[in-house]
Structure 1
Amino acid sequence: MRNQRWNEEYIEDQSGKVAIITGGSSGLGLEQASVLAQKGAILVLAVRDMAKGMEAVQEIQQKNMNTKIEAMKLDLADLDSIRAFSREFEDKYDHLDLLINNAGVMMPPFGKTKDGFELQFGVNHLGHFALTGRLMPMLMRTETARVVTVSSLANAWKGANIFFEDLQCETSYDKQLTYAQSKLANILFAYELDKKFKEHKAPILSLCAHPGWSVTNLQQHLNVFMKTIAHFMSQPASMGALPILRAATDKDVKGGEYFGPSGINERKGYPVQVKSSTLTHDTQLAKRLWKTSEELTGVTYCFNWN
């Protein structure tokens, strides 16, 4: 695609468009929110910690006095919280132009969500799967809406797969491989969602993006050695947010694209369309993941729009 040095200057006016950003109070999410606020979008920061959410709202408002922005409570590790957030959003807004599935956890000690899912798979994939499904009626009522799901270079780590026989890591827990599984699931979900939009001739796009190696608070669980390497090989969150913002706003996208940094091994650089691993295009794997996700979350998607 064109614009090899694409940046926020290419983003057109977003006035009147409503955007939800999960994890919008810090890191990549806060960077995305700051840029979209400058472009006039109406923002909802979906956050687990409301105190941090309010701090982010104030920070953005100080730079953009006329910004319409609020923080709303959302815990992706709790299906009841996802349901409550969706209902609250539907009570306040009549359309949804952009949903950015950005929040996540990265390689923590073993833990489980409120509903008993392994934490990384439960938050990074199942939480966003349930949230998108709950918001689908609103998305379907908004012509030219977009869903952008944030993945990671980890999706292609050696050994990455969807381990259906032990999704909740009841047999063993490898925090790196489990993180890779959740990020692979993000891409499989994004691609399958776009296929379903096209099958139903819905005027909505699903895209995916990854930030390269960006410095964010996600890396809190890395050891000292890895944090030192990251300091020299990574890029700031402001650059890491650009692939996500391009997927969210570039008027030339068709749906089903994947964006990442243009540099060596896609670690850093300006955002371009990139290729994903062979496994991300496994249609049977994607369909099985979708069916399993519906069964685990109890959320089924409705694609009626006309």
Structure 2
Amino acid sequence: MWLLSVLVPLVRLYFCGAKVLFYQMFYRSFKLPVLPKQCGRVAIVTGGTRGMGFEAARHLAGLGMHVFIVGNEKEEGTKAVQKIQEDGAEGKAEFVFVDLTSLKSVRQFAQTFRDRGLPLHLLVNNAGTMLVPERQTEDGFEFHFGLNYLGHFLLTNLLLDILKESGKPGRCSRIVNMSSATHYAGIMNMDDLNRRKHYSSHGAYAQSKLALVLFTYYLQEQMMAGGYHVTANAVDPGMVDTALYDNLWTLAQMLKKPVAKILFRTPAEGASIALLAAASSEFEGVGACYLYNGEKRSSAEVSYDTELQAKLWKRSSELVALQKA
């Protein structure tokens, strides 16, 4: 039983990966169109110190945005801001230390941001980890679930009122959640979200990415029902050559290196899909989409289960004590 619980998620996840690589073998990354200027607008990008997050932050600052780069590596954050400044960005970049595996840290950042009295027009929930050995966050959550999903769930909700206030007709505030094709392999076990019974890093990662899609759709439904000018979309960057793959097995790492050079997207290409959702005129007022390679795609069938969306939202709110935030 234990072996099956480990092997099934592994096979499902690598099958998804193989399908993505096959696609990328024949189709180039879409070309990001020229995006409208974003002067005077404010953005938060989690995991913005390197990889896709940095590329997204750099592009947004170049469009004139005031970008808050959120991360847990102070030295990397300082360097990221310096690079953006050296690029001569029209906007501004600031680094803020936040540990998304700590609910306390997330709450502190949200309060600090609120105290600044700034609007918030864009939240890019990009930070993530993949295939780490079994471990828990300081709050006792399975690490993938805590970092990839719960930290972003709490952050989004704590800043949601500012996003609502900042959105205007024809100029919505936007939330962009970085998911992955691996969400197709995800299974939401509502009775064991922390994977205590039979741990699989592959299953845990896929579950966290499915949770982000379910969260996106439910959030968008709430925004529409309330008449708020806020949109939420999930994006899939494809397979991108970033540090996310550092936790692969040694053999997989050896095989990945030559393949990545040929078939993987660059961080800039991976960030382009998030930028499309974040700033393009095409997606003004458009939410509840799953985007891949510049196009709207159907996400996993289970992600459209409205009952499951509601259950996950309620359970997540309980886990992060949202009513006490």
Same fold flag (TM > 0.5): yes
Residue 314 of structure 2 aligns to a residue whose secondary structure is helix
Cα deviation, residue 170, structure 1: 1.6
Length-normalised TM-score, structure 2: 0.85
Distance 1:221 1:50, change over 3 A: same
Q: Say if 2:179 and 2:236, in contact at 8 Å, map to a contact too.
A: yes
Identity %: 34
Q: Which runs of 5+ in 1 are unaligned?
A: 262-270
Cα deviation, residue 277, structure 1: 1.4
- Candidates 136, 140, 147, aligned match of 2:175: 147
Aligned residue for 1:13? Answer: 37
Length-normalised TM-score, structure 1: 0.90
Letter in 1 for 2:63: K
Aligned residue for 1:275? Answer: 298
Aligned residue for 2:273? Answer: 243
Q: Which runs of 5+ in 2 are unaligned?
A: 1-27
Aligned residue for 2:146? Answer: 122
Q: Say if 2:62 and 2:90, in contact at 8 Å, map to a contact too.
A: no
Residue 241 of structure 1 aligns to a residue whose secondary structure is helix
Aligned residue for 1:266? Answer: none
Cα deviation, residue 161, structure 1: 1.0
Higher helix content, 1 or 2: 2
- Distance in 1 between the 2:310 and 2:145 partners? 17
Cα deviation, residue 83, structure 1: 0.4
Aligned residue for 1:219? Answer: 245
Mean alpha-carbon deviation: is it higher for 101-110 or for 244-253?
244-253
Aligned residue for 1:178? Answer: 204
Q: Deviations over 1:100-124 (max 9, x none)?
A: 0000011101111110000000111
Cα deviation, residue 55, structure 1: 0.7
Q: Say if 1:133 and 1:300, in contact at 8 Å, map to a contact too.
A: no
Cα deviation, residue 257, structure 1: 1.3
Number of positions where the alignment pairs a residue of Structure 1 with one of Structure 2: 288
| Counterpart check, 1:165 vs 2:197 | no
Aligned residue for 2:24? Answer: none
Q: Say if 2:218 and 2:310, in contact at 8 Å, map to a contact too.
A: yes
Q: Deviations over 1:130-165 (max 9, x none)?
A: 0001111211111111111010011012xx211122
- Distance in 1 between the 2:89 and 2:321 partners? 41
Letter in 2 for 1:153: A
Aligned residue for 1:232? Answer: 262
Runs of at least 4 residues off by over 6 Å: none
Aligned residue for 2:287? Answer: 255
Residue 148 of structure 2 aligns to a residue whose secondary structure is helix
| Counterpart check, 1:207 vs 2:233 | yes
Aligned residue for 1:132? Answer: 156
Letter in 2 for 1:255: G
- Distance in 1 between the 2:87 and 2:117 partners? 24
Q: Deviations over 1:13-59 (max 9, x none)?
A: 01011000000000000010111111111100011111111110001
Mean alpha-carbon deviation: is it higher for 5-14 or for 125-134?
5-14
- Candidates 128, 133, 153, aligned match of 1:104: 128
CA RMSD of aligned residues (A): 1.8
